[in-house]
Structure 1
């Protein structure tokens, strides 16, 4: 959905409230007091009230917006921006776009959204064809430590990350200079080391057993076949 379509569908606070209400009703509401599942909409309090005991479940209750006083439109628009912006977006920029006076509430809102996105990401299991690779990212090194700094793999200045990319084949005939598959989803997991046992444990946690793995010939991936249906190695010879 592009920005124009988003604004057309959610032009004001009322439409955003209706959006969140529809999602909650489709998911189903269970009374926290008596367990009854039949409710009526209380427009004045923006809540679903239990038809049996009268217990009130607010629209924000049980969501990332709970206890927040920011408008629903802020939340929906910020979720849209964070989901659709490829290079990320700062809290200062979101504050500017929303026209909000204070920075802190916007930062807190975005922090909560990122946390929820992370929880949802953890529940996603890789399946189908997954390309596997490892990466190393520079991290902060405590200069006050007396421990000598290592170089290369195992260095205190690097964090090891297992990168898993789900790929789907592109429809139609393969074209020259074009990849035959497209990335659909990427998961990056920080791991304590690069051993094959760590790789297998991580993969079995985040991927289904029937997954097909594609990787290079690095030795840390040598035992991947134990936790996958198939392991395809693409060994690239060293440059002369």
Structure 2
């Protein structure tokens, strides 16, 4: 599925299915995959479960980068296969290496850093380090399109899960408050799982998240 976003950039979206495992549990999950680019080049955001399905979305374009929102296995398990098939480098924040190393025996090609930028198809993705769901979780803001890709940091309905190892509720709420809720209210939020939302739709519920956690 493709949707026009600007004269040069489109977002392709597919959903892949597999499992997420951590802390001795395993769950069935469906993951969003986002491909941002034009007719010749693109970047891939997250590499879950099925490299072949992602390659199909890429559709022969040059992949400039595989940008990983975090290193839970359901977001990175096909990253190296995708990299090998496309020749694209993988990027991960270094604070998530302990999670990556549980899945892969080869290091990511490059580290993500807060404030880093990636140019593709006439737009710029800005890296926002948003720890909480995991220590190295990152979001990718594209101001020209009014879009932010949030991985598992912010969903339709609130913050991503923080009840497992390497996660922290206070940290994720601080990240969302400081880095995401400060974006324009009409910014579209493209998530790692489930439906998209907007900053304006989520911002009014911050106190509810805090109250529910405390309760």
Whether TM exceeds 0.5 here: the answer is no
The two structures have a TM-score, normalised by structure 1, of 0.23
Query: Over alpha carbons, which structure has the higher Rg?
Result: 1
Tell which has more relative contact order, 1 or 2 (C-alpha 8 A, sep 6+): 2
Higher strand share: 2
Higher helix share: 1
